[in-house]
Structure 1
């Protein structure tokens, strides 16, 4: 599943590796069995997690994380988020917590929209200037226009607008510091919520150019991907458990929620919302049932993000520096108070 506007969070079908048998897990639970400092042992585990993720051994990486959970120098925060009870919440209850769902679920990327409009105007003026400069005939001008329209259509059909997104996103990151920071905060929200709910982040990219260089494809958006074979297995059976649906809902809306908390509105994440809506429809949810699920998820995410503001902020700094998934997990573990989970 690919979620996101300019960026996204991604649940993609990943093939479980058979490398779990090769795990070499340092003793992360028993603090008194080794003279090695707990922090060093934990770092060694996270380095091995990074190594397994780079190899594509997603099941092995997840096994490492789960085996490292617990006190005594282990991972305390994975899947340890304190959540609100799941019940039917009214809009008034969300408003009391400073949440306006109308703006929450209708993000509009004004930055990319403005850049695209300016490029269209510049292209039109440039085309007219070239036409006059080279004294092109009406037929030549028409053929040029048709050629450009063909290129645009090919990108839209075969690459899902990937080339367009690449150009707009690259310009936006170069010209707008606010846009650049917003994307980082958006992805940090996805990453943090996923980890606290027990879903292991696999990799992340901040820009479309980074994604193109790593993936070699225009069809893949920038964003955060997750180790999701358990989700895929449930989808393939035709049944999705309530627990998995809750995780999916929260992770999908985490980026939008982060932007809403920081800026008062969200620009990115429209695709996140659309993909979640598509899932509800595929499950046969009525509008009332979908609304109930979204309201609970929104309230749950916002309260978690507020509770762990320091961890989210430090995580965003780490992701901005391009640190590995394991290093980002270490940042989360170091900046969450045990009393808050």
Structure 2
């Protein structure tokens, strides 16, 4: 996102420079592109130093959100996280689907589904419990990529999820050679869970689109769990 913001600023500056060069042809005062350039650079600098780039994040997410497929991808990505966390018994503390929603809730970046990660503390668990808990969280972190891939054939999001998984593995003393193997395995396992509970997943997508509460989302999932069990 930071690189995209820098690219956007560069494109904007290029456009304003071009307008300054072509201005005389269309009787545009050179003061206008100059003032615009100074304003944009000042706002970009203020955003970078005072707001840690949140302004650019909000703007870019808003622009991307004008595309319906982008909104749908985010919704299905986050529903994947939510469903797999529910299945594996990891408490969900909240979710957001836009950068603006995340900003209002005090969450960094684009937000997403928030979990209670206290269970990953090495001080609380023994080695065997920690490995079991880590495996569950890896599936949850990769579940967004898994859901996107199931629906669209590929995933556009998931960079932050991969980074979170790798940072956690590094913190727990794992080797870099394990990262990709762990990612691929977790994605396959998450896909299997989503496919096995596809009715719950589709119902959850519909509920999250309406910004249902955590309790309401749990209820929707459970209703379709029960329906699947009766059908079986």
What pairs up with 1:26-105 in 2 under 5 angstroms?
Answer: none
SS at match of 1:335: helix
What pairs up with 1:1-341 in 2 under 5 angstroms?
Answer: 121=11, 124-126=14-16, 128-129=18-19, 132=23, 133-136=28-31, 141=34, 145=37, 148-149=40-41, 151-173=43-65, 175-215=66-106, 219-231=108-120, 233-234=121-122, 241-336=130-225, 337-338=228-229
* Counterpart Cα distance in 2 of 1:235 and 1:167: 41
- Runs of 4 or more consecutive aligned structure 1 residues displaced over 6 Å after TM superposition: 115-119, 235-240
Is 1:249–1:294's contact at 8 Å kept on the other side of the alignment?
A: yes
SS at match of 2:187: helix
Q: Deviations over 1:178-203 (max 9, x none)?
A: 00111100110000011101111111
Q: Which runs of 5+ in 2 are unaligned?
A: none
* Counterpart Cα distance in 2 of 1:275 and 1:157: 24
* Counterpart Cα distance in 2 of 1:269 and 1:281: 18
Higher helix share: 2
Q: Deviations over 1:136-193 (max 9, x none)?
A: 49xx94x9756644543453455443211110111221x2000011110011000001
Of 277-286 and 318-327, deviating more is 277-286
Q: CA deviation at 1:126?
A: 4.3
* Counterpart Cα distance in 1 of 2:143 and 2:82: 9
SS at match of 2:112: strand
* Counterpart Cα distance in 2 of 1:262 and 1:302: 10
Q: Which is bigger in relative contact order (C-alpha 8 A, separation at least 6)?
A: 1
User: What root-mean-square deviation, in Å, do the aligned CA atoms of Structure 1 and Structure 2 show?
Assistant: 3.5
Is 1:307–1:340's contact at 8 Å kept on the other side of the alignment?
A: no
Distance change in 2, residues 1:235/1:152 (3 Å): farther
* Counterpart Cα distance in 2 of 1:191 and 1:184: 10
Task: Name the TM-score, length of structure 1 as normaliser.
Answer: 0.56
SS at match of 1:199: coil
Q: CA deviation at 1:247?
A: 1.6
Is 2:169–2:179's contact at 8 Å kept on the other side of the alignment?
A: yes
SS at match of 1:284: coil
